[in-house]
Homo-oligomer: A and B are copies of this chain.
Amino acid sequence: MRSAKFLLLLISLNVVSNIVIAAPPTCPAHLGGDCANGSGEWEGEFFPGIPKIKYEGPSSKNPLALSGIMLKRDSWKKMKDWMRFSVAFWHTFRGTGGDPFGAPTKMWPWEDGTNSLAMAKRRMRANFEFIEKLGVDRWCFHDKIIAPDGSSSLLMETNANLDEVVALAKELQGTKVRPLWGTAQLFHHPRYTHGGATSSELGVYLYAAAQVKKAMEVTHYLGGENYVFWGGREGYQSLLNTDMERELNHMARFLEAAAAYKKKIGFKAQEPTKHQYDWDAATAANFLRKYGLIDEFKLNIECNHATLSGHSCHHELETARINGLLGNIDANTGDPQIGWDTDQFMMDVAEATLVMLSVVKNGGLAPGGFNFDAKLRRESTDVEDIFIAHIAGMDTLARGLRNAAKLIEDGSLSELVRKRYQSFDSELGAQIEAGKGDFDLLEKKAIKWGEPTVASAKQELAEMIFQSAL
């Protein structure tokens, strides 16, 4: 296994330590020294020097402007229909720059060093100012990331805290902004050491169910379009001390109960997108098929994770698409020389073009979208770096969409593919594709045809066409 737990190794798991280590070590003077109880109010803007981000055209050198070339035939608005960008609350507002090797490095001025309810609300205000300045209209959240636990981990007190922050979020959302999705964080707390739905402890299974139930309710209340199941701890460390079959059965029971509850509360128009809960898209599909859940869930493909499991992101997207399961994309990328999730912002235009080719083939992602499940490098410590990174990520995908459009309009690539398979567009080919080609018939035809001709696959030509569109 590449991950601590092989099932449900997911997106953005690095967020988890934030609750503990999010706070800067000292109390900022500008908050009036009132850090102990976190009641210090924040006056004015959170991002005072940052303008509303605008599109300034492809030759702009302003790092605080968008330069991704718009489609000739399209307005920026139309481009947004393809993109459906979403800000990830955890990386953007709870990411601290801490890593297994080092302490937090982000000293955001609005943080007061606590995980209090007041701090949670101030942070939520910063989130909506950021969204407004960036010009997107979706956001994603985990329950534990937006509100603190109650004392003694009592569920009811914890849920009350969540309700209070969610009420503020609903107010700040206004009429235009909505969650792309919400989720429950079932991996950071020590109780989830052995997993949530697949924990060896019955009590943990119960707690996880209660937490997911609540997270589904608040996502629904906020007008969320999807609900995601994460599974960072659903797996195993060693088969020697694990009953894998029993754990998988428990996970299936858990998801069945969630699907039933979704219907009960009337989460109606939208399919809950299902996170990639396992090694790769095909493994997830096998699980859903085995337990009869294939129609209830879709997959949330994370590019960084695709490469960690030995696939290209494009392969995972196409595998999900062909299985009818492409629901959502985590728009991040890894480092080819690093063997773990680095969750960098995607800045490679070639990769973005391949991603957008799949998205266009899929007819878009709605009700899913692109979540910027990506974080600033630990060494990037200026407030403006948060904007720069998101802008570069948006521009990269915009360029990818433009290139995909160019390739599709040009048509050479799809023509090259069509020609390769044209022998199957014959009568005999159609018969085989309809399942009517038995071995006796095929042998007879093979003897008649003799040695078949085999054409060049023209791979270098295909790559040349692709590169020339970039």
Which residue from B190, B389, B460 sits with its C-beta under 8 Å from A345? B460
Cα of A433 to Cα of B306 in the assembled complex, Å: 32
9-residue interface stretch from A27-35, A116-124, A173-181, A412-420: A412-420
Q: Which chain B positions have C-beta within 8 A of A260?
A: 438-439
Is the pair A432, B253 in contact by a Cβ cutoff of 8 Å? yes
- A285 located at the interface, meaning its Cβ lies under 8 Å from any Cβ of chain B in the complex: yes
- A84 located at the interface, meaning its Cβ lies under 8 Å from any Cβ of chain B in the complex: no
Chain B min CB distance to A452 (Å): 3
Is the pair B459, A253 in contact by a Cβ cutoff of 8 Å? no
Given contacts A190-B102, A461-B385, A461-B388, whether A452 and B377 have CB atoms under 8 Å apart is no
Closest residue on chain B to residue A379 by CB atoms: B457
Count of this chain's copies in the oligomeric assembly? 4
Is the pair A377, B459 in contact by a Cβ cutoff of 8 Å? yes
Interface residues of A, count at CB 8 A = 163
Which residue from B101, B237, B424 sits with its C-beta under 8 Å from A4? B101
Q: Which chain B positions have C-beta within 8 A of A282?
A: 278-279, 282-283, 286-287
Is the pair A452, B201 in contact by a Cβ cutoff of 8 Å? yes
Cα of A1 to Cα of B315 in the assembled complex, Å: 8
Is the pair B103, A1 in contact by a Cβ cutoff of 8 Å? no
Q: Which chain B positions have C-beta within 8 A of A435?
A: 253, 256
Interface residues of A in 442-470 (CB under 8 A from B): 442-443, 445-447, 449-468, 470
Given contacts A101-B4, A246-B421, A279-B282, whether A452 and B203 have CB atoms under 8 Å apart is yes
> Which of A246, A285, A464 has its CB near the most chain B CB atoms (within 10 A)?
A464
Cα of A63 to Cα of B463 in the assembled complex, Å: 11
Chain B min CB distance to A257 (Å): 5
Chain B min CB distance to A306 (Å): 10
Cα of A213 to Cα of B155 in the assembled complex, Å: 51
- A336 located at the interface, meaning its Cβ lies under 8 Å from any Cβ of chain B in the complex: yes
Q: Which chain B positions have C-beta within 8 A of A4?
A: 99, 101, 378
Is the pair B442, A209 in contact by a Cβ cutoff of 8 Å? yes
Closest residue on chain B to residue A19 by CB atoms: B103
- A269 located at the interface, meaning its Cβ lies under 8 Å from any Cβ of chain B in the complex: no
Which 7 A-B pairs have CB atoms at the shortest separation, nearest pair first?
Answer: A339-B339, A203-B452, A209-B442, A379-B457, A286-B286, A282-B283, A202-B423
A-B contact pairs, 15 of them (CB 8 A): A1-B315, A19-B103, A102-B233, A202-B424, A203-B449, A207-B452, A209-B446, A238-B463, A241-B458, A285-B286, A286-B323, A310-B310, A381-B454, A381-B457, A388-B461
